Amino acid sequence: MGRSRRTIPEELLLLALDPTTGTTAQPQSLDLGLAGAQLVELAMAGRIAPDGDRIAVVSPRPTGDPTLDCALELLRRRGAPVRAVHWIGGPRLGLRQIYLSHLERCGMVHAVAGQMCGVLPTTRYQATDTDISREIKARLDSAIRTGVPPDPRTAALAALAHAVGLGKHLYPGNEGRSSRSRLRDLIRHDPMGGLVAHAVMDVQNGAAAQPRRNQAPAGRQAGPGARSAPEPARGVPAQPHRGPMARVVAH
């Protein structure tokens, strides 16, 4: 995979970043969304594919993106397809910081040191080129306004933005209600994005601990390779991991 275009995790993070305050909207659910966005990007690169409500590695060949390749290797080591909800619900220590640091190296954001309550050190991230964020949002706006089915990348981004709760950040107030509804509806235009978005919402609702037996995720038919889901693996939390990043970036 070349680096000529931004990845979906990068775009999701840029959408969530407030250009004025340097904080990220919905920081806890955003961590889940970034893990899900990695799955979508790997699927678009032909490295993984959905298997019912599970994710299977179909090609372990590296993409050239170190962060995505790390996720791909972890999936490969599982040996068998893993439920999307378990993968997204697992601990992802520092994933948001990894992407913020990457965006800083690329020159798209710059770090601003500060303090919380005059004591605790914090780091906020200001966009260096707000035109990039505006261009990303313009793609969502176009899909919402025109009703024309978006390209797969925009559809997946819309699905993830809805899943992590960015609708009220992107389209606030009563005047944004119809846009938030249409953002939610875009979830149907990309099967992989829809699967991952539903998994993100399931984790937030505590459904990761409730295996779905003999059925596919809501709104989708089980594929020929679908299996009844096993009990959750030990050590996989049902709720989003609340790590140190919640204190470092967004308040």
Burial 79-97 (b: 16+ CB within 10 A, else e): eebbbbbbbbbbebeebbb
Q: What is the pLDDT of residues 65-78, one digit of tens each?
A: 999 999 999 999 99
- Residue 155: predicted pLDDT: 94
- Residue 47: predicted pLDDT: 97
Which residues lie across from 113 on neighbouring strands? 123
The phi and psi torsions of 129 (rounded to 5 degrees) equal -140, 95
- pLDDT tier at 249 (50, 70, 90 boundaries)? very low
- Does residue 115 surpass a pLDDT of 90? no
- pLDDT tier at 127 (50, 70, 90 boundaries)? confident
Q: What is the pLDDT of residues 19-64, one digit of tens each?
A: 777 788 888 899 999 999 999 999 999 999 999 999 999 999 999 9
Residues 103 and 51: beta-carbon distance below 8 Å: no
DSSP 8-state assignment for residue 24: B
Q: Work out the burial of residue 185: count CB atoms within 10 Å of its CB; fewer than 13 is exposed, 13-18 middle, 19 or more buried.
A: middle
- Does residue 161 surpass a pLDDT of 90? yes
Number of Cβ within a 10 Å radius of residue 184: 16
Backbone angle region of 117, left / alpha / beta, with phi > 0 → left and psi within -120 to 50 → alpha: left
Number of Cβ within a 10 Å radius of residue 156: 31
With H, G, I as helix, E, B as strand and everything else as coil, classify residue 136: helix
